Amino acid sequence: MPIRAALALLKPLLEDRSVLKIGADVKHHYVVMNRHGAELCPYDDVTLISYVLNGGTAGGHDLASLADAWLGHKVRDLKELTGSGKSAVAFADVDPANAAAWAAEAADVALRLWQVLKPRLAMDGIVSVYERLERPLVPVLARMEQRGISVDRQILSRLSGELAQGAARLEHEIYELAGERFTIGSPKQLGDILFGRMGLPGGSKTRTGQWATTAQVLEELAAEGHELPRKIVDWRQMTKLKSTYTDALPGYVNPQTGRVHTSYALAATTTGRLSSSEPNLQNIPVRTTEGRKIRGAFIAGKGNKLVSADYSQIELRVLAHVADIHQLRQAFAAGADIHAATASEMFGVPVEGMPGEIRRRAKAINFGIIYGISAFGLAGQLSIPREEAADYIKRYFERFPGIRDYIETTKDFARRHGYVETIFGRRIHYPDIRASNVHLRSFSERASTNARLQGTAADIIRRAMVRMDDALARERLSARMLLQVHDELIFEVAEDEVEATIPVVQRVMENAAMPAVSLSVPLQVDARAADNWDEAH
């Protein structure tokens, strides 16, 4: 069927404000229709309804999982029609009778799921999470995906060459030191050589009883003066950057747009964060000099700049608010260095002239608190004995008893209800919170205390994103939101609008909790513009 003919039939219906369109993973359909100039509105999405109702419980929220769980219906897999792998055909090339039957089944199942799930949403009183944080994000993310971002393929190709050279050189040196050739990328072979044949002191074992060869293990051996582990770590970094980024990213450049278009999942994480795939643009390197060169390959289009705006310490600010910790609130209000302030409070050391090591330890504790701290984890992070880590934690809770109370209150709430809530009412379920298995239960306790913080931060940036396009339009600004990386938004902005855009972006992000929640701690957003993502970050 010609697209024009299909659109003539569909567009009026899709855009009819009096007709509710119901589907699963509506963003996907929104992008497809939008590509042909049709706007899908209004709509309900059973995937998002399920995510809001049952986030954290086992099982996905895609159409097939929901149909199985709620209707006892096994939907036919699209692969039965298109085939899979190399011989797969496009949906457009499937026999129309088969395609129609498959599509009709999906439509029918989506409607029946909506009839079951939508009323439960109202009963559970979390309708505002769906209506304000989930549903309105669909067109926002669809537009971000469609815009894509420019990458400089020359830079990536040059980096690939440099990494190939560096890895090849290391490969020879590794074989020389090992006394034989082997597959460096095989953890099994590497473990056998390091800890078997060469007799280096092995650390921990993996779940399957193999020697662990993680970067941390190899770094410790390197610190003891062993040459080989250091070279393995360097080789791994180079091959990682090459295979995952410099080699793979050019393959994602769309020939029509010349840009890279990621796909965001709205209903993939337990905490309310987004995820990004094909390619994942939420894990572009930044921590090493070599890695940052890859980030530098993400560039603004001609006549534009990239603007990066990120929340400063948003999860610690959320913690200061929800746990109501006066020292933390004061430190944030004063614009202090929060890790130094924590160290000062814990160890009685003035911030002026504080040794770096002291601050580093307080920083690790702050992260630990967010993750659901344990003496074991902190000890591993800081490479100190567990007794010493336990002592730090004890000292921390003596100074910040409100945080110990917060953690206990959260665990207790989770035990009683089976879920925890963000400050905007998002529920995250922990079915194992009352398990008799200590391991399962402890994991749920750490995860649930973390989820309130990570989830609230995720809700805040969602609110900013939902409002951003309107705010920019009201100021007659043409800035386009391109990417989201959990606490950061990246925009493409016409050069002559950069100065006017930055304060608008900051204002929307910093006020994103309002008016639903008035935070007792200010949110701070740092923003800057540059020709590429590395320099803007």
Partner DNA sequence: AGTCTCACG
Partner DNA sequence: ACGTACGTGAGACTC
Select 112 or 182, whichever has its Cβ closest to DNA.
Answer: 182
**Binding map of DNA across residues 444-473, x = CB under 7 A, - = no contact:** --xx--xx--x-------------------
Looking at 97-105, 229-237, 335-343, 344-352, which segment touches DNA (CB under 7 A)? 229-237
Nearest distance from C-beta of residue 373 to DNA, angstroms: 4
Q: How many residues bind DNA (CB under 7 A)?
A: 73
**Binding map of DNA across residues 412-441, x = CB under 7 A, - = no contact:** --------------------------xx--
Among 84, 157, 257, 283, binds DNA (CB under 7 A): 283
Among 47, 54, 246, 269, binds DNA (CB under 7 A): 269
Interface with DNA in residues 247-266 (CB under 7 A): 247-248, 265
Nearest distance from C-beta of residue 381 to DNA, angstroms: 4
Interface with DNA in residues 158-217 (CB under 7 A): 183, 185-189, 191, 206-208, 210, 212-215
Among 103, 286, 333, 351, binds DNA (CB under 7 A): 286
Whether omega before 250 lies within 30 degrees of 0, making that bond cis, reads no
What are the residues facing 205 on neighbouring strands?
211
First-to-final CA distance of the chain = 47
Those residues with Cβ within 8 angstroms of residue 289's Cβ, 6 or more apart along the chain or in another chain = none
Nearest distance from C-beta of residue 193 to DNA, angstroms: 12
Select 299 or 451, whichever has its Cβ closest to DNA.
Answer: 451
- 71: its two tokens: 């209707």
Residue 6, number of CB atoms within 10 A of its CB:
12
**What letter would DSSP give residue 61?**
-
Among 84, 254, 280, 330, binds DNA (CB under 7 A): 280
HSE-up of residue 290 (Cα within 13 Å, Cβ side): 18
- What are the C-alpha distances in Å from 65 to residues 98, 172, 303? 22, 49, 46
Nearest distance from C-beta of residue 507 to DNA, angstroms: 20
Nearest distance from C-beta of residue 89 to DNA, angstroms: 20
- 277: its two tokens: 């795939």
Q: Which helix (H) or strand (E) holds 483?
A: strand 480-484
Is residue 278 involved in binding DNA (CB under 7 A)?
yes
Select 282 or 511, whichever has its Cβ closest to DNA.
Answer: 282
Interface with DNA in residues 230-249 (CB under 7 A): 233, 236-237, 239-241, 243-244, 247-248
Select 14 or 460, whichever has its Cβ closest to DNA.
Answer: 460
Could you give the CA distance from residue 530 to residue 306 in angstroms, rounded to a whole number? 6
**What letter would DSSP give residue 205?**
B
Q: Which of 45, 50, 57, 124 is nearest to 428 (CA)?
A: 57
Is residue 268 involved in binding DNA (CB under 7 A)?
yes
Residue 192, number of CB atoms within 10 A of its CB:
15
**Binding map of DNA across residues 345-374, x = CB under 7 A, - = no contact:** -------------------xx-xx--xxxx
Q: Which of 181, 205, 204, 203 is nearest to 193 (CA)?
A: 181
Q: Which helix (H) or strand (E) holds 371?
A: helix 356-371
Helix axes 356-371, 314-322, angle to 10 degrees: 70
